[in-house]
Amino acid sequence: MKKHIISILCLILGLVIGVGGYLIYDLATSVPDRELGAEITGPAAGASNQELVEQSYNVLSYIQKLDYNSLSKLVHPEYGIYFSPYSNINLTSNQWFSSDMLAMIDKVENPFVWGVYDGSGEPISMSADEYFSRFVYDRNFAGAPIVTIDRIAKSGNSLENTVELFPGCRFVDFYIPAQNEDALDWSLLRLIYEEHNGSLYLVAIVHNEYTV
């Protein structure tokens, strides 16, 4: 009798965890229907850390050159990609693009609203080039002295919700520390990947820095 009760409790617990995981997964991937963008072979989902880092340095090179077309080919063909100026990713207010949309964003004349500024709460209204210069590649992340894999390199005052929004994701942090212990000028760029057809594709690019 005791064994039957334990089995039933385990079954109920498994269902609760499964439903909870589905709800989180659905929240992170609920994006509009659209045509699939061009796919290129990304690192395998079981890729070694070295392969994942090499892929991430390729991403940085495209970002640095504002090569949106090449970058778009590494974007998840179903989920698209989110851009967050701070580590607290907001799937409602942060800007989202499909692969096709990202390839063409430099052709859009009107600015995008990428989120809100820390402290003031004012909207971040910028062109793609302006945003990438301020909230993506504001530092030389290709030369970052600290690179971590699937581990948050630096946390500030902003809520960290990468794993909650993208369960099962892999991510690479490029972290540039402050110049000294009292300085607040540290900066971080996080590239977040999810699996699709056996390969990993970008689902978010997250910037972080000191926030109030």
Q: Is the dihedral of CA 101, 102, 104, 108 positive or negative?
A: positive
Q: What is the pLDDT of residues 34-76, one digit of tens each?
A: 222 223 346 777 778 988 999 999 999 999 999 999 999 999 9
Q: What is the pLDDT of residues 96-140, one digit of tens each?
A: 999 999 999 999 989 999 999 998 989 999 999 999 999 999 999
Domain boundaries, the chain: 31-209
Q: What is the pLDDT of residues 165-179, one digit of tens each?
A: 999 999 999 999 998
Looking at 86-198, which runs of residues are DSSP E strands?
A: 95-97, 112-116, 123-126, 146-149, 170-176, 187-196
pLDDT higher than 70, residue 207: yes
Distances (CA, A) of 68 to 39, 61, 163, 186: 14, 11, 26, 26
pLDDT higher than 60, residue 26: no
Q: Which residue has the higher pLDDT, 153 or 9?
A: 153
* pLDDT at 24 (0 to 100): 25
Neighbours of 93 (CB within 10 A): 13
DSSP 100-129: HHHHTGGG--SPEEEEE-TTT--EEEE-HH
* pLDDT at 150 (0 to 100): 95
The helix (run of H) or strand (run of E) holding residue 203 is strand 199-209
